[in-house]
Structure 1
Amino acid sequence: MNTQQPTVNWVKNRVRQARDDQQQLFDAGLNGLKLARRDGKHIELSSGERLTEFLSCSYLGLEYDPRLVQGAVEAVESFGVQFAAARTRALLPPMCELDELLNQIFQGHTVTFNSVGSAHLGCLPLLGSGELPSYPLRRGPSWIVDRAAHASMQVLQGILWQFGPVQRCDCSVVEQVEQACSTAVAAGHTPIILTDSIGSMRGLYPINRLLQLAERFEGYLYADDAHGTSIHGAAGGGYALVAADERLRNRLILLSSLSKAFGATGGAITVLTAGDAEMIRRHASTYTFGGPLSMGGVGAAVASGKIHLSPEIGELQAALWRNTALIDGLLGPVLGNHDVASPIRFVRVGAERDAISLALHLRRQAIAVTTALFPVVAKGEAMLRLAISANHSQAQLQNLANAVTGGFAELGIRQRGAGDE
């Protein structure tokens, strides 16, 4: 294993690789939409154009719930827009209430951040230092980073190298992770697997099998469950908690988003003990110095947390899965993630110019989707990403299916099935 830190500038490479394709999307008007107003899944652009959107990752529609809106208003009226002091010095009542609710939802000891990215930046160095009480290390960590993990983890590779070597592999292929863990242990390191649990541009990861590897090699699984938060579990604790064998949870470090299906703003990390959480609160730089939490976001999150701990969360989840089943039935296996317990679906296209043409066709049918081009996906594997929500109507999903099918026919693009390369 090469233990020398590479000289590759990840950000420079990413910018250079993405620049041309991103420019195409902006030139086509598919990115940089300027919203004037919105009503549920309807958006109106500053140009007056009205669209049904499949862009937002708020999979349960909670951001429009009157209780979240009222919670945000009351928190701001009581404490102002923010309280600009480090939380090591002062905590406001809604912040404490939110932590208590999240402890129940995520079944551990939870610390909140302004975003999941801030949680990564604050917590990974602490984890790598070996100072978190429940996560001891041998000689130091060996980081095993999924190749498709979110950019907020990828960009930290230079920081991770300060603590131990970084290996990149496909964490959906258990054999690759097993080999990386074996290499780490042979070098005297503790393997720490960094991956999403539901990929933003792919399907589900084998969380329990990764935890089994973490147990076998005496390492840890650091799982970013941003897209799984709220949509799985009796209290919306997320996909990783549902997939994990309870006896292996001492090997799991859980990252959750409060900004997607949760309906509010922010990110959270859940660790094993109160001592771990207190170490993060006192020593994670982005917790202490990362700027105050928005009081409106905290108030909304408290209201959402109460919904999560009620039977209503199950009803919202059921509505989401009815809608994913409906779109699967309408479009069939041509959809990526067909019949997968994820709210994200893909329309495989292939050539970048064809994906842009199809997205523009949908736009003419008053539908907005995400167009994914290189380097988010491989060159020649362009696709449209559809974020399905509980508050899409049956008519909106039917219109989407008709527009996709009609677009392939009108544009003469061959539909690509799951087995196509």
Structure 2
Amino acid sequence: MAVTRNRFTNYRSMIQKSEADWQTSYAKHLSGLQVRAIARNLLQDQHGRTLQHFCTTSYLGLDYHPDILQGAIKELENSRTLRIANSRNRCQLQVLDQYEAELSELFGCASLATLSCSAASSGVLPLVAAGIFTDGISPHMVFDKFAHYSLNHIKAACADETEVQTLPHNDMDQL
């Protein structure tokens, strides 16, 4: 029986096709930037350039909110660490549990805090695909062709659990 490969990903091909462009972007200082925040959505890179940050995922600007920054500083001082360096299902900082409980109460649902969209997608979407939250019934998962990377990178893992389909961008008729 022949194994069908690369239905959802093809890293080798993707890397081969994009490598020259990545090298050009690094050479022209468009990638690999090391930045510091100098104001809300304003960065300065290692080349001394000031950059307006248009691709932030801090949609509400909370990354720069003074009360949140002060609360984070206070908790770092209380915890005396950035994190516990092991899997959080074995051990986590008490403040993370408190934070998730307060978010859950605020939004009236179970809330999880993750470091990024990719981390959340990687952790949750395969469970959705496996039917863990729907009494073992796996859903048919549909992704927009231009879905964010945080969704696209996990499609192969989801496809191992359920039917996964990628539709043309915004094609509501096909959906």
TM-score by length of 2: 0.77
CA distance in 2, matches of 1:163, 1:36: 41
User: RMSD between aligned alpha carbons?
Assistant: 2.8
Q: Do the aligned partners of residues 40 and 125 (structure 1) sit closer, same or farther apart at CA in structure 2, a change above 3 Å counting?
A: closer
Other-structure match for 1:53: 52
User: Where does residue 34 of structure 1 map in the other structure?
Assistant: 34
CA distance in 2, matches of 1:7, 1:128: 19
Residue 32 of structure 1, CA deviation: 2.5
SS in 1 for 2:147: coil
Deviation at 1:37, TM superposition (A): 5.7
Q: Is the 8 A contact 2:45 2:51 kept in 1?
A: no
Q: Is the 8 A contact 1:35 1:44 kept in 2?
A: yes
CA deviation string 1:61-95 (max 9, x = no partner): 33233222221111111112212354434454422
Q: Give the C-alpha shift of residue 142 in structure 1.
A: 2.7
Q: Measure, in 2, the Cα distance between the counterparts of 1:40 and 1:126.
A: 36
> How many angstroms apart in 2 are the aligned matches of 1:113 and 1:34?
23
What per-residue deviation string (whole Å, max 9, x for no partner) do you get for residues 360-414 of structure 1?
Answer: xxxxxxxxxxxxxxxxxxxxxxxxxxxxxxxxxxxxxxxxxxxxxxxxxxxxxxx
| Structure 2 residues without counterparts, runs of 5 or longer | none
Tell me the distance in 2 between the aligned counterparts of 1:159 and 1:84. 26
**1:90 to 1:43, Cα distance in 2 relative to 1, 3 A:** closer
State how far apart, in whole Å, the 1-side matches of 2:169 and 2:135 are: 23
Q: Please show how residues 44-83 of structure 1 align to structure 2 within 5 Å.
A: 44-49=44-49, 51-57=50-56, 58-79=58-79, 80-83=81-84
More strand by share: 1
Q: Distance in 2 between matches of 1:41 and 1:164?
A: 39
User: In structure 2, how many angstroms separate the alpha carbons of the residues matched to 1:131 and 1:47?
Assistant: 48
Cα distance between partner residues in 2 of 1:157 and 1:6:
15
Partner of 2:156: 158
Matched, 1:102 2:100: no
Match of 2:18 in 1: 18
How has the CA–CA distance of structure 1 residues 95 and 35 changed in structure 2, closer, same or farther, with 3 Å as cutoff?
Answer: closer
> Do 1:141 and 1:163's aligned partners in 2 also have CA atoms closer than 8 Å?
no
1:128, 1:141 within 8 Å by CA — same for their partners in 2?
Answer: yes
Q: How far apart, CA to CA, are the structure 2 residues paired with 1:6 and 1:28?
A: 39
Consecutive unaligned residues in structure 1, runs of 5 or more? 178-421
- Match for residue 7 of structure 1 among 5, 8, 13: 5
What letter matches 1:108 in structure 2?
A: C
Match of 1:123 in 2: 124
Distance across 2 between alignment mates of 1:36 and 1:91: 28
The answer on whether the counterparts of 2:142 and 2:167 sit within 8 Å (CA) in structure 1 is: yes
Aligned to 2:173: 175
How many residue pairs get aligned? The number is: 170
For 1:34 and 1:22, how far apart are their aligned partners in 2? Answer: 16
After superposition, residues 8-407 of structure 1 pair within 5 angstroms as 8=6, 9-35=9-35, 38-49=38-49, 51-57=50-56, 58-79=58-79, 80-132=81-133, 135-136=134-135, 138=137, 140-170=138-168, 172-177=170-175
How far, CA to CA, are the matches of 2:62 and 2:132 in structure 1? 37
Indicate the SS of the match to 1:70.
helix
The structure carrying a bigger helix percent of its residues is 1
The offset of 1:111, in angstroms, is 1.9
Three-state SS of the structure 1 residue aligned to 2:19 is helix
Distance change in 2, residues 1:86/1:59 (3 Å): closer
In 1, are the aligned partners of 2:41 and 2:52 still within 8 Å (CA)? yes
Tell me by how many angstroms 1:169 deviates: 0.5
Quote the Cα distance in structure 2 between the aligned partners of 1:147 and 1:128.
Answer: 18
Amino acid at match of 1:40: R
Mapped to 1, the partners of 2:52 and 2:45 lie a distance apart of 11
Matched residues in 2 for 1:63 and 1:43: separation? Answer: 13
8 Å Cα contact 1:11/1:155 also seen in 2: no
Distance 1:106 1:46 in 2: 40
Letter of the structure 2 residue corresponding to residue 136 of structure 1: D
Over 3 Å counting, the alpha-carbon distance change for 1:11 and 1:74 in structure 2 is: same
Distance 2:106 2:55 in 1: 23
